[in-house]
Amino acid sequence: MNFILNFAKGIALGAGAILPGISSGVLCVIFGIYDKLLDSILTFFKNTKENFKFLFPIFLGLLFGILLFGNTLKFLFLAYPIQTKFIFIGLILGCIPHIINDSISKYPFKIEYLFFTIIAAFSGLFLVFLEKNSTVCISTSYTFLILVITGFFMSIGVVVPGVSSTLILMLFGVYSSYLDAISSIYLPFLLPLGIGLFVGCLVFMKLTKFLLNKFYMQTFFSIIGFTIGSIFVLYPRI
């Protein structure tokens, strides 16, 4: 049962890696696996069997979601944009109380933690504004190094909740090529991007884990703020 549930969560994370404005990190938070995912990856070799048992269905589902459901989700966002966006908004809003309860069950709540939420929410709103007003640059010449660097910075959107990896791809001018490469499994493009993504994920996961260990409540309430701010990138312009 856990395998199927984690596999389904992985599919949703795959959607977050494809669709503009959806952060995989936010989905990890609302599914309640953000902390455990960081721990399992960073301490993989300390408890290989248990970590593999947890991570395998998630990453299998993520790959499955990217390769097989990417076009379906793109169709839903194009054919039924308002309905689909409100479903995602409802999913995020519905899970926020659970996220807050989970955090305050570990450490006592202090009113000043809301300051971190407010600052992060406004930062998320700024990123929404940036994405809404960014033109999708299209470049046709990519070197191996450029794609590795792009993948490295793309990892911020994978690890940090509320930061869209698609915005980073747009700023680097590779978003359209990224979608084409995924649909055709074009390895000369995907391989260097994946290398940079892997290295970047390790770096930013270690940084995030350090912050959670030293400043758990401040970091987690900042994550909640980014999650709230990310809602507005989905809000449809009716």
**Helices (H), ranges, the chain:** 2-16, 24-30, 34-42, 48-68, 70-79, 81-104, 113-132, 144-159, 165-171, 175-184, 187-214, 216-234
Locate 64 and state its tokens. Answer: 């499955």
> Does the structure show a pLDDT above 80 at 96?
no
Q: Residue 175 pLDDT more than 90?
A: no
Instruction: Choose the most confident range, by mean pLDDT, from 24-28, 157-161, 209-213.
Output: 209-213
pLDDT, residue 148, reads 92
Burial class (CB in 10 A: 0-12, 13-18, 19+), 170: buried
Distance CA(154)–CA(165), nearest Å, equals 5
Q: Ramachandran region of residue 173, left (φ > 0), alpha (ψ -120 to 50) or beta?
A: left
Q: How far apart are CA 117 and CA 105, in angstroms?
A: 18
Q: Would you state the pLDDT for residue 23?
A: 64
Give the least confident one: 44-53, 127-136, 148-157, 179-188.
127-136
Q: Round to whole Å and give the CA distance between 119 and 126.
A: 11
| Per-residue pLDDT tens digits for 26-50 | 778 777 788 888 888 888 888 898 9
* Distance in angstroms between the alpha carbons of the first and the last residue of the chain: 40
Burial of residue 232 (number of CB atoms within 10 Å: 0-12, 13-18, 19+): middle
Q: How far is the CA of 46 from the CAs of 40, 43, 184, in angstroms?
A: 9, 5, 37
pLDDT of residue 179: 76
pTM of the full predicted structure? 0.65
Please, which pLDDT band fits residue 162 given cuts at 50, 70 and 90?
Answer: low
Q: What percent of the chain has pLDDT over 90?
A: 7
Burial-class residue 234 by CB neighbours within 10 Å (0-12, 13-18, 19+).
buried
Q: What is the pLDDT of residue 65?
A: 80
Between 87 and 16, whose confidence is greater? Answer: 87
pLDDT above 70 for 19: no
Between vectors from CA 126 to CA 117 and to CA 162, what angle results, nearest 5°? 55
Distances (CA, A) of 109 to 122, 158, 200, 216: 21, 28, 32, 11
Residue at token pair 């649909």 = 183
Rounded mean pLDDT of the chain?
78
Asked which of 67-76, 140-149, 203-212 is least confident by mean pLDDT, the reply is 67-76
pLDDT of 57 higher than 50: yes
